[in-house]
């Protein structure tokens, strides 16, 4: 089946899991639980190798990227929450898309949840978005703590461990 090939391509590209449409609620929650459990037990929330490549080994650029993430994440999470409260699927989709773009260099996990929110918004299934948003908010808080004083040296060490 085609979805098996799609799943394998996604896994090969570094995704944590894959769900074929139409999304079955029980499958979605099982996947979210599995992925969040694995990220809680891992000290690899930060994608050191990706971030190191994104900043080009430049300490000043890393500092600016981390400042931008710390400045925009709380605002974006508030916007996601407000869009969900207002049942504004279009705003939820756009904000989730932007959030994914911003976080992709920092955390494969955080950047993988945002597209799930985007998909739910596109499908108009906002009732399933609340647990994802809560997970995203909690994980984002951890990510912000990790980047607060991050240095190139720490990134290199983390990348070497992974």
- CA dist 139 and 13 (Å) reads 22
Residue 152 pLDDT: 94
Q: What is the pLDDT of residues 93-104, one digit of tens each?
A: 999 999 988 898
Provide the residue ranges of all domains of the chain, joining segments of one domain with +: 45-161
Average pLDDT of span 15-21: 72
Look over the chain and give the mean of its residue pLDDT values, rounded to a whole number: 84
Q: What is the pLDDT of residues 103-117, one digit of tens each?
A: 989 998 888 888 888
Residue 36 pLDDT: 59
Q: Tell me: cis bond preceding 161? Omega within 30 of 0 counts.
A: no
pLDDT higher than threshold 80 for residue 58 = yes
Average pLDDT of span 50-79: 95
pLDDT higher than threshold 90 for residue 42 = no
We find that the CATH architecture of domain 45-161 is Up-down Bundle (1.20)
pTM (predicted TM-score) = 0.68
pLDDT higher than threshold 80 for residue 89 = yes
DSSP notation for 84-130: HHTT-HHHHHHHHHHHHHHHTTT-HHHHHHHHHHHHHHHHT-GGGHH
Question: Nearest 10 degrees: CA dihedral of 48, 52, 58, 60?
Answer: -40
pLDDT higher than threshold 80 for residue 132 = yes
Residue 26 pLDDT: 66
pLDDT tier at 38, thresholds 50, 70, 90: very low
């Amino acid at each position: 089946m085609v979805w098996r090939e799609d799943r394998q391509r996604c896994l090969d590209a570094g995704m944590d899991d894959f769900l074929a449409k139409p999304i079955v609620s029980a499958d979605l929650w099982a996947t979210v639980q599995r992925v969040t459990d694995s990220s809680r037990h891992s000290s690899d929330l930060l994608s050191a190798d990706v971030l190191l490549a994104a900043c080009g080994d430049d300490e000043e650029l890393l500092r600016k990227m981390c400042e931008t993430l710390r400045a925009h994440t709380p605002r974006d999470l508030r916007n996601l929450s407000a869009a969900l409260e207002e049942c504004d699927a279009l705003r939820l989709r756009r904000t989730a898309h932007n959030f994914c773009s911003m976080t992709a260099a920092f955390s494969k996990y955080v950047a993988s949840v945002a597209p799930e929110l985007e998909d739910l918004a596109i499908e108009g299934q906002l009732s399933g978005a609340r647990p994802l948003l809560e997970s995203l908010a909690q994980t984002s808080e951890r990510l912000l703590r990790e980047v607060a004083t991050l240095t190139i040296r720490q990134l290199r060490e983390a990348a070497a461990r992974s």
